[in-house]
Structure 1
């Protein structure tokens, strides 16, 4: 398929998504402004399900995630009591999402980047309406495992370390000593170096890809902390505490357990901090490149700007409103023209135009 044909196909999908979203919006408005017929909500959920599938095909994952949450909220409302604050919150969150999702899709179709973080406030409003746990920024960062798998550095390190003789029982107390000292704020530089040395040994002796990935990323976070690119926040202290528990798991269950149950959430959360680090050490730079962190974790200012633009009226909405205003002005002009030309004197004839 040529680039032109691919672009035409992409925009055809975009037009279909836009049309389906308009139908979903109309169904939601019909429910909210009408007699509360549940068939309208069911129709809205069906349309959102179709939108989610189309967005997945078009690889617009941020919008797809929002459509999925909107569909889930629709189904939640269908099954819930129609009175009370929970129902009202759900309708209000759905209505706002219904306005912003088409604008987001339109921006992507015009060549913009798909940045799921922009959708975070709406996603959490929808989840809160269903009394579900909220998402964090780090949970929206997608692991780019393929980038790591294709990294010569990663593959070389795993191959070299597969047969290394690691004494994990001796390494864990060293890591714990460094972690405890760093948490207490005692000689932070020395304790970070102690943890980093343990991570390097575990990385060098990694028996599989999942273990190498974990220690490579842990080493990057420790490098950023040592270089002053990250602050010693409570969240980071908890994450490094989880790293210690992974060392314990390695000691008790062995490396094969990491292949069956990779610590994806932990790695994902650590990568989030690497993306936010202000330092550019060798390891941090390599991780940013391998995981394309500049794409999945844009600057906060950019995210805020995009959120504001989505909250503003879309060009399509402005065009529709402008057309309606133009029609109203045209009718008022015609009435005024008739009033003047026919010599009418009763001003009350013009009240309907005010």
Structure 2
């Protein structure tokens, strides 16, 4: 049979498809109005079967599969104990499938990936297993690793014990991803996978860790959206690490699960660059980027519409208005004679209206009252040092703090963004000061990591570590200022290890495994600070990873926190 895939062919059949979907929607609505009309539900199923046949002829596999799932869901509604949920999902699917067909017609391209989410909604409602994100992706998953992996970095008998700590590191990162912090937590996940890959080396299961690392690196470099399917993939990696922990060499010699290989290579194929590990995997599996993840998400947004955070949008707009008001007041305080207080009053009134919309009634009333006062002001007749002018400044600070507090309700709790009860202090300015300290601490951590790398590369030249204890002492001071005592105690432990094991007279060449364990602790602190800098705190669990690393080095935190 000749494949009919061009836009012209779809155009000939588009009216038929639209009409059939409309009939299905009308039949479904009639059934909802009168549940005893089973014939309407049967007509709905027949319509979906017809749509499936047309989509198969047009070689639109995603649309055909979705129509099939819709037919199956329609057939189970009468037997369901909660038909309302199935009916709602079915109604949404009719709309989504219609939009997809319109998208294919207008764009002249069929991206089956755009319907994976809709198909899974139908399967979820029906209690069926979900299809993977790579369902429509074609690749030869039997290809070998290129270049071949070196031998494992540890004796096979030790891998089981070493993977136990690395699994804890991985789980901390995974928990952060599931909670919504993608970037920093993914870095922790990637580090754990990198260590496991080096441990497993050229073992049969090693191929999985190679492509898993590539998938996570692709997610990080392209800042990919962490969809439920991708979070599930990360969870599947954790199950494989668990096998290493509990089965040891038997798991190491087992073949890598082909479905996980396929899912991982699919993620890699969405990455925009071809360098490093990502490029290595693309060449080995002979895949190229048909489109990037960003392009895929844009197309999905075009087709189905995507919403943003209303609260954050409102907060940004209010901060801009507050900034313009403060600039006008600054000019007035400096003696500007052309200040338009009527315009300023209008802006304050708009601000009061917005505050009402977001539930800040007390602040709204105060600002509205102040707007009426400002409307009667005249340029050149207001004393910038007077009570009225300063009262307006105080009210603006009150609104600014109200907006900042509102934003925090919709963000994770941040250890360095502690509640401030002094209403005369701007929360934004205080946060900026804290962020400056966090930035300085991160600079110190970056310098420390570079020094450790140089120390290892030079086979133990202590000159590269000579300044590290002083740097870590400065970072510890910053952490003390931020009241991050647990992180400071871990950092003190790292400093003691460096002073007593790496810089002490008579200490030999660095042991690679010890240096990697120390790097785990240092990196965990850096990720902890990075997550705060990005206002997506990863939580104290990452500090536990660092504490376990220090305990493995023989410097438990409870001792390390004490002066040497």
Please say whether Structure 1 and Structure 2 have the same fold, judged by a TM-score greater than 0.5.
yes
Which of 92, 96, 102 is the aligned partner of 2:98?
102
C-alpha distance in 2 between matches for 1:177 and 1:56:
50
Alignment of structure 1 residues 76-155 onto 2, 5 Å? 76-80=76-80, 86-110=82-106, 111-118=108-115, 120=117, 122-123=118-119, 125-127=121-123, 129-130=125-126, 132=127, 135=130, 139-142=132-135, 144=137, 146-149=139-142, 154=144
- Once the two structures are superposed, residues 276-314 of structure 1 have per-residue CA deviations (whole angstroms, 9 ceiling, x without a partner) of 8798751123445745565484443332222129xxxxx
C-alpha distance in 1 between matches for 2:155 and 2:73:
50
Which of 286, 306, 326 is the aligned partner of 2:303?
306
- Once the two structures are superposed, residues 225-270 of structure 1 have per-residue CA deviations (whole angstroms, 9 ceiling, x without a partner) of 9989799998787454323134355733674x537xx352x44565
Gap change, CA 1:231 and 1:102, over 3 Å in 2:
closer
**1:74 offset after TM fit, Å?**
0.6
Alignment of structure 1 residues 264-343 onto 2, 5 Å? 264=259, 266-267=260-261, 270=264, 274=268, 281-287=275-281, 290=285, 291-292=287-288, 295=291, 297=293, 298-308=295-305
RMSD: 4.9
C-alpha distance in 1 between matches for 2:224 and 2:7:
40
Which of 171, 176, 180 is the aligned partner of 2:164?
176
Q: Structure 1: which 5+ runs fail to align?
A: 310-354
Q: Which residue of 2 aligns with 1:74?
A: 74
Contact 1:224 1:274 in 2 (8 A): yes
Contact 2:3 2:57 in 1 (8 A): no
Task: Give the TM-score taking structure 1 as reference length.
Answer: 0.57
Q: Structure 2: which 5+ runs fail to align?
A: 174-184, 307-564
Q: Which residue of 1 aligns with 2:346?
A: none
Contact 2:170 2:238 in 1 (8 A): no
Contact 2:170 2:192 in 1 (8 A): no
Q: Which has the higher contact order (CA 8 A, sep 6+)?
A: 1
C-alpha distance in 2 between matches for 1:284 and 1:258:
22
Q: Does 1:242 align with 2:239?
A: yes
- Once the two structures are superposed, residues 76-101 of structure 1 have per-residue CA deviations (whole angstroms, 9 ceiling, x without a partner) of 124347xxxx3344334323322331
Q: Which residue of 1 aligns with 2:202?
A: 204
- Once the two structures are superposed, residues 302-332 of structure 1 have per-residue CA deviations (whole angstroms, 9 ceiling, x without a partner) of 32222129xxxxxxxxxxxxxxxxxxxxxxx
Gap change, CA 1:104 and 1:195, over 3 Å in 2:
closer
Aligned-partner SS, 2:302: helix
Gap change, CA 1:23 and 1:145, over 3 Å in 2:
closer
Task: Give the TM-score taking structure 2 as reference length.
Answer: 0.39
- Once the two structures are superposed, residues 98-126 of structure 1 have per-residue CA deviations (whole angstroms, 9 ceiling, x without a partner) of 23313312332441231434552x44554
Gap change, CA 1:251 and 1:170, over 3 Å in 2:
same
Contact 2:169 2:192 in 1 (8 A): no
C-alpha distance in 1 between matches for 2:39 and 2:66:
22
Q: Which residue of 2 aligns with 1:344?
A: none
**1:157 offset after TM fit, Å?**
5.4
For the pair shown, the structure with the greater C-alpha radius of gyration is: 2
Q: Name the one with the larger helix percent.
A: 1
Q: Does 1:251 align with 2:245?
A: no
C-alpha distance in 1 between matches for 2:278 and 2:188:
20
Gap change, CA 1:28 and 1:304, over 3 Å in 2:
closer
C-alpha distance in 2 between matches for 1:224 and 1:65:
29
Q: Which residue of 1 aligns with 2:26?
A: 29
C-alpha distance in 2 between matches for 1:21 and 1:50:
12
- Once the two structures are superposed, residues 179-199 of structure 1 have per-residue CA deviations (whole angstroms, 9 ceiling, x without a partner) of 4356568xx999966752541
**1:217 offset after TM fit, Å?**
0.9
**Count of equivalent residues:** 283
